[in-house]
């Protein structure tokens, strides 16, 4: 089996509920993360999409509307900008697969609210551990570009990088999305 065949066999969708897994999809803006998450979840019967964005301006309202229109009508949607652990826990047992789109916006929401980011991440991962559903978690990789010019931008980049590492440590599978293609991220 070639390396490409091996990667393709690992990137074949969400396992059934008896083999719960956490899959992390990382990438830059417009890299194909959300579409890939939707494709992976498409084989599941009961899907909960957890959206973290708030419609703060016209551009964000348009993005949210586009995402709503693109996702399958039979999926349930939970829109929660900050208390993911609490909101998701209320749905425990109702879904086979949960798609969290996205950690990037969630962390921004938490930081701007002055919340305990790492406590919230730990609570979220604990919620995954106590549930039966497989999760597909979407997050941006923002550490590959230039150093942000502002202190807040640098703090955000650093905190999101640490959060992504925490989620990746727990993840059963992790992929970097580039131009709509997935590269498996191996543990060393």
Active-site entry in 46, 67, 166, 170: 67
62 touches 129 (CB < 8 A): no
48 touches 97 (CB < 8 A): yes
Which ranges of the chain would DSSP assign to H, the alpha helix? 3-10, 33-41, 58-70, 84-89, 103-112, 117-130, 151-170
Using CA of residue 34, residue 37, residue 39, residue 43, what is the dihedral sign?
negative
In this structure, the number of other CB atoms found within 10 A of the CB of residue 40 comes to 22
- Indicate the SS3 state at residue 35: helix
What does the alpha-carbon distance between residue 87 and residue 13 come to, in Å, rounded to a whole number? 25
Is 67 catalytic? The answer is yes
Catalytic positions, written as ranges: 67
């Amino acid at each position: 089996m070639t390396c490409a065949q091996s990667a393709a066999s690992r990137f074949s969708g969400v396992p059934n509920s008896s083999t719960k897994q956490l899959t992390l999809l990382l990438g830059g803006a417009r890299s194909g993360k959300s579409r890939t998450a939707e494709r992976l979840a498409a084989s599941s019967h009961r899907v909960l999409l957890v959206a973290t964005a708030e419609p703060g301006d016209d551009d964000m309202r348009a993005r949210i509307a586009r995402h709503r229109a693109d996702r399958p009508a039979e999926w349930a949607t939970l829109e929660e900008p900050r208390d993911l652990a609490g909101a998701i826990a209320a749905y425990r047992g109702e879904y086979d697969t949960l798609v969290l789109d996205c950690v990037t916006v969630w962390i921004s929401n938490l930081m701007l609210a002055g919340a305990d980011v790492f406590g919230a991440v730990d609570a979220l991962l604990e919620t995954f551990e106590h549930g039966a559903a497989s999760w597909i978690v979407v997050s941006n990789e923002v550490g590959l570009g230039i150093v942000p010019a502002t202190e807040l931008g640098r703090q955000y980049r650093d905190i999101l990088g640490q959060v992504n590492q925490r989620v990746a440590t727990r993840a059963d599978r992790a992929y970097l999305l580039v131009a709509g293609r997935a590269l498996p991220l191996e543990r060393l």
